[in-house]
Every structure is written in C-alpha cells, then in structure tokens.
Amino acid sequence: MTQSASFQMVAVAGDEDTRQMLAAVARQVGLPGAQISEGGASAALSLVRSGQPPELLVVDLADSPDPILDIRALLSATSGATAVIALGVINDVRLYRALIDAGARDYLVKPVTAEGILSALASVLESRNASASATPVSATAVSRSSRTVALIGARGGVGVTSLALSVGWDVAGQGRKTVVLDLDLHFGSAALSLDLEPGRGLKEILTNPDRVDGLLIDAAAGRAGEHLRILSAEEPLEDALELQPAGLAALLDALRPSAELVVIDVPRTLGPMSRQVLQTADLLAIVTDLSLPAMRDSQRLISLVRSLRGEAPLLLIANRVGGVGGEVSQADFERAVGAKINQVVRFDRAAAIAAAESAKPLIAAAKTPATVAALKAVSKSLSGEVAAPAGKAEATSWLRRLLTS
C-alpha cells in the first residue's frame, strides 16, 4: 500500500487473538509502525491524550459499559481528526447504527477477520484520499503484494502435502516466485517428496523472530526450481517444539517482498501457530477424503474456522476420491458437513506412483488429463486466478444431518 508510509494506526484490544490479527494486517498492508496495545476504551483514551492523535484508531469495546459514550469521548479527545473503528461482541444492528451516528467509522463484531479489517481500513483510506482530492483506494489496493494460502487436512493421509506441492509447482512454473512452507517440523514430508535435504534453519527462524532475515531464510530453504523454494524441517522426535505465532509472523513478513505466493502446509496439531495460520491466511482450504471419519472432522474444522474467520472465503477440497474404502457419496458428505465441496481430485494411482518414483509433485508426474485439469483448478483457486466461493457452513451436528437426510 504505497499511500500508507505516513499513515498512523493505533489499536487497542483486550484479547491476544485480536491483537495478533491487527498486527498481522498492519504488517501486510505496509504499516509496520502501527501501535498495538492491550486494553479497551480507557486505555485508548489515555493513548490519544498522551500524544498526537493518530489517523486511525481501532478500539475494543467488548468490556465497555457504555460504548456510545466511549466513542464520543475518543472523538472529542482527537478533535475529530481520527477515524475510529470499533470492535465488540454484540451483534446488533441497533448498536451498529448508534455507534455510526456517534461518529465511529465502522463496527466489527469479534472474532474479527483479516478481510473485515482490510475492508474497514480501505474505507478509511478512501475517505482520506477523497478529502485530499486523490484517487480513491479500493479494498483491492489495500491487499497484500504477497498472497498466503493454507491447507489443512481433515485427517491424516488425505494428501495435503501433495496438493501444496502441486500448487506451488504450478504457480512457480508460471514464473511467479513461490514458497511452500511445511509447518510440521517433526513429520513434514514436503522436502522428502521432492528428494530435497530438509532445511536446518526453520526451527531457528520460528523460535527466534528477532533473528529472521533473508540470509537465514535462504540457508533454510531448499530449491525445487528457479522460482520454487521449500521451507521444511526434520527435527528429532526427542525435541519438544514450542513454536509461537511471533516467529511465523516474522517469517511471513520477511518472505513478503520476495514471494508472490506462500503455500502453507498446516499440521493438525492445532497449536498456537497453526491456529494463527487458520485465522490470518488470505485463503484457507480444508482437504478431505470422503470417508466417514473425514466427514466428521471436516465439519469440526469448518466450525472452528468459522469461529476464527467468520464468513471469510473457505475452500473444501475432496482429494483422492475413489481411493478410500467405505466412501460416502459427495451429496451425503456435503449435507453432513453443511458445505459444498469446491474442488474434487480423483485418486490416480499411476500418477501417485510416478510422483514417488520421480520425486516430483503429482501435477508434474500425472499423465491423465483429468488429473492434471483437477490439480490446475485447485491451483487457480488457491493462487487467486479465480475467485474462491464462500461456501457457507452451518455448525450443526454432522451425524444428525446424515440421519435426517
């Protein structure tokens, strides 16, 4: 965002998840100097009174006894020079209208999503530019120069790594600089699948965010072509890994100038770092087969993702279809999880064998046109070449849906 160099943003939020989201968005749109603090309306009021009022203030009103009064106090303290975006937990159109009437620029219901913050920020910048007789900034203009997509499996063995590598390979083949990041530091197989030596620096990067730089990343990454890098590890099983979101945020920050697409292979352990990815990735895909256990866990993952991201775009990809015993039909699967399957990749045994023998991604080893076409469709959806469907999912019992269908 070229117009953000002098733009000042202050944010005050009561919970760590929201602060991480706001910090990630600020970095992604070119506001590394944004001030993110803990607290609520009173803390925000103290901040704006102690110095020059910022151009944007994001304030968490979740614990405010009188949100309207707090908004008016904040605007009075800034003499109307600050655009205020309010956050809260009450989803009520009357409260929204009252806050807007009081002078708030927008009101977002927690848990906030990156898309919601970006949209609100775009509106603020558009008004700022319009008042300066400049070209308005759209939500697209506020988007990142680098795209981060994440894939997580509904269960083990559904082919997440295979799809991640195929997407990375396909996009890199178009001349776009791409990184595949395998966050399973104990059992990840991204490097192994391409017969690359696992990197030795990924753990260091993720545990020491202050030390992250381009040289350390280059040393940790394996190269799978001119435009494709693989970041993975093979840490001893005896080592307990306590990886925190700050390390991942620093890594993605460092990758942003040099990678147009970062494909993240997310482990199913769902620790703090995995949850951060689920919450902040530009696009998230759940990969599943059509087995009964995967149906149950797809529904559970969809419910979790919706609690973290609201109605942000989410892809549901059915992989290795026809290759698992006891599959349910696609229609029954969709009814059970409450979401449509966006992409289907059928099981291609010959391609899987060829990929393993040649140490190439499935998309490079496949000879069947249908398999190649399906993998390219997944690649286009994830890389942003085509719009990703929203695919709204209802958080109801998967078993009850199945029994009553």
DSSP conformation letters of 123-158: HHHHHHHHHTT-PPPPTTTTS-SSEEEEEEESSTTS
Fold of 147-404: Rossmann fold (3.40.50)
Residue 32 confidence (pLDDT): 67
- CB-hemisphere CA count at 13 Å for 177? 8
How far apart CA 247 and CA 250 sit, in angstroms, is 5
CB 55 within 8 A of CB 7: yes
Better-scored residue on pLDDT, 400 or 209: 209
The percentage of residues in the chain with a pLDDT greater than 70, rounded to a whole number, is 88
Pairing of strands 9-13, 283-288: unpaired
Residue 127 confidence (pLDDT): 67
How far apart CA 382 and CA 386 sit, in angstroms, is 8
Q: What are phi and psi of 350, to 5 degrees?
A: -60, -40
How far apart CA 11 and CA 193 sit, in angstroms, is 43
> How buried is residue 275: exposed, middle or buried, by Cβ count under 10 Å (0-12/13-18/19+)?
middle
Give alpha helix (H) positions in 232-368. 245-255, 272-280, 292-309, 330-337, 349-358, 362-365
Superfamily of domain 2-131: Response regulator (3.40.50.2300)
Task: Give the other-Cβ count within 10 Å of 32's Cβ.
Answer: 10
How far apart CA 82 and CA 275 sit, in angstroms, is 32
Q: Answer whether the bond into residue 111 is a cis peptide, omega within 30°.
A: yes
How far apart CA 324 and CA 226 sit, in angstroms, is 36
How far apart CA 53 and CA 244 sit, in angstroms, is 32
Better-scored residue on pLDDT, 41 or 169: 169
Mean pLDDT of 201-230: 86
Task: Give the other-Cβ count within 10 Å of 253's Cβ.
Answer: 16
How far apart CA 264 and CA 278 sit, in angstroms, is 10
The tokens for 144 are: 């990142």
How far apart CA 393 and CA 400 sit, in angstroms, is 15
How far apart CA 385 and CA 372 sit, in angstroms, is 17
Across the chain, mean pLDDT equals: 84
Find the radius of gyration of the CA atoms of the chain: 22
Q: Enter the pTM of the model.
A: 0.65
Among 224, 229, 235, smallest CA distance to 194 is for 224
How far apart CA 351 and CA 364 sit, in angstroms, is 9
Residue 391 confidence (pLDDT): 42
Better-scored residue on pLDDT, 243 or 285: 285
CB 279 within 8 A of CB 306: no
CB 293 within 8 A of CB 155: yes
Better-scored residue on pLDDT, 246 or 315: 315
Banded model confidence at residue 211, pLDDT cuts 50, 70, 90: confident
Better-scored residue on pLDDT, 82 or 179: 179
Q: Hey, which residues does 286 pair with through a beta bridge?
A: 152, 316
Residue 243 confidence (pLDDT): 77
Residue 396 confidence (pLDDT): 38
Domain boundaries, the chain: 2-131, 147-404
Residue matched to tokens 């390390």: 247
How far apart CA 355 and CA 390 sit, in angstroms, is 32
* Torsion, CA 53, CA 57, CA 63, CA 65, rounded to 10: 60
Tell me the per-residue pLDDT of 144-153, one tens digit each, with 9 for 90 and over: 457 899 999 9
Q: Among 303-307, 338-342, 399-403, name the most confident range.
A: 338-342
Q: 369 in helix, strand or coil?
A: helix
How far apart CA 3 and CA 359 sit, in angstroms, is 45
Considering Cα of 200, then 206, then 212, then 213, what sign does the dihedral take?
A: positive
Judge if 2-131 and 147-404 fold alike in CATH terms.
yes
